[in-house]
Structure formats: C-alpha cells, structure tokens
Homo-oligomer: A and B are copies of this chain.
C-alpha cells in the first residue's frame, strides 16, 4: 500500500504540490520534462492520488469518537491514553469530546457523525434512561462504556461494572468494620445515573445489616457546582457536618467527592479515620497519596477502555451485532477506615 503523499512527490521532484496535481491530471501549464519527471516519481513511489477510485475507501475517515459525559473527571481522563493506544492498534484516530452534565450528548453525537465522518462512537459515562430509544438517531456502530442504564434491552453494546453491587461492597465493608451511622454523598437530587445506582447499593447494604435508612445522612451534590468535583464534595460534606448529625463513616460516590469531603472533615477539626471513616469510589491514582490514603472501590479503567475498543471494532467489522461485558471492581483497603 502506498505511503507517499502528494507532498512527498512534490518534495522529491522539487516542485510545488499544485504542479504535481496538474501533471497527474493532465492539466496544461506544466513543462513537459517536469511532467515526465513527476509521472516517473509517481510510478516509482507507487503514489496513488487521493481522488482516485483506489483511494476512495482510504479517504474515509478512521475517526472514532470518545464522547465523555462530564468534564475534568480524573477517572475518565486516566482512560484516555488507553483508548488512544487501543484505537491506534486498529488504526483508528482517537477523537475526544467532553460534554457537560446538562448537555445533550445525542445531539452532539449526531452533529459529529456528520461533520467528522465517524467510524464509531464510545459513549463514556452518563446515563441513558432508555438506550434503544435515545440511540435511535445514531446510525453508526457505538458502545456504551460505564454508562448507567435503567431500562435494559438488547440493542446496544455495553462495557461496565455493576454500580449497585460494587457500592454495596463498599458499604458492607463499613458495616463489617462496625459502623452503623454511615453517611453518604451521592449525585444530584434528580440523578438517575450512577449516583442513583450507588445510592441503591448503599441502601441495600444497610438493609442487609439491619440498619434503618436515615435520609438526613444522605447528601446530594449541589446542582450549582460541577457534579463529582472536589468542590461539590467539600460543599455538601461541610453542610452535613454543620447539621450536627452523628455519624462515624462516610461513603462518597466518587474519589474526587471523597477528596473534597476530606477537606471539610479535617477543617472541622475531626480526624480521619479516628472520628470519621471515609470510603470513595473509582480508585484513581491520587487515592494512594491522600493522607490518610483513601479506601475505595477500584474500577478496572484500563480493561473497560480496552474491551470497549475491541467490541466497537468487532461491530465496525460486522463480526458481531452487540456484546455486553460486565467487569468486577475491587475493594482497596487503605488507611481511611477504622474498625469501631
């Protein structure tokens, strides 16, 4: 397969690209000797013009879009280099778009399909209440990666973890460590996405351990701050502490939220874990260097990204129609939980 571009031929012949183009397309205005030299170079280097039929397939873009619901999310960002290198293996170009919590990612996807001639889309994060319905307008291969789905059907591919089960794991761990007054910081009030699923896991764990659910210990993120941000975790934990309700442990719906919670707790004069134990979710790098290091549920980010690319490629090559993969997450026991 030819690797040479028109610029290479131009450089080799010491002429401009427009001269090469005119020579190839037999347009007048090129010196006969120059034309001969160019055509010889074209032959020698097996150069195939872009607009020729041979190149029609090649001239299609190989763009694969990773469409991220959420900006500056360290967990998602840690997956970017995996997406990139895995996409590269299949010769796709990694095109990235981060959209805000309130943006309509389907509209964005449809615009980009048209503008960027995408080969496929990986939807990263966010929520699809009813994927079959919402994804009706997406007429190229796609896959959902760690997208929360509330109504299942069989019309889409997905790679994710079980947010309910894994959150349950976190809260059951706190229960086993003797905690019964466990607070939670979760997503926005009207969140039906991972915040909701992780809250369900929390409730199920409490139920399993016979602990009554106390709504006053559950904090929803503020809608006027970016959700899952350090800032939001800080703000709502501060509010929770100011309520004066007694609790010995806090489960945060993300590590970034837990990070903000740390500051609120420490600022109030309480110690972690001596006064309040904290568990996060995601397992991002920084958790190991927090002080104390954060006990958390580690999502297998690399596997989620690599498997998404593999399945998407199989879809693009029409080897499969859809495929669903669920990965387990892992409880990482660090220093932020105390047995009481």
Contact = CB atoms under 8 A, between A and B. Distances in A.
B234 A3 contact: no
A263 B234 contact: no
A3 B114 contact: yes
Interface residues of A, number: 50
Interface in A166-224: none
Contact of A63 (B51, B93, B229): B93
B286 A259 contact: yes
A97 B93 CA distance: 9
A145 B81 CA distance: 20
Copies of this chain per assembly: 2
A230 B263 CA distance: 18
Nearest to A230: B289
A127 to B, nearest CB: 20
B289 A260 contact: yes
B98 A84 contact: yes
A101 interface: no
B5 A114 contact: yes
Interface stretch (A72-80, A149-157, A314-322): A72-80
- Residue among A81, A114, A259 with max Cβ neighbours from chain B (10 Å): A81
Interface of A: 3, 5, 7, 11, 50-51, 53, 56, 59-61, 63, 71-72, 74, 77-78, 80-81, 84, 91, 93-98, 114-117, 139, 229-231, 233-234, 259-260, 262-263, 266-267, 285-286, 288-291, 293
Given A74-B77, A81-B98, 5 more contacts: A50-B56, A63-B63, A72-B78, A93-B116, A267-B291
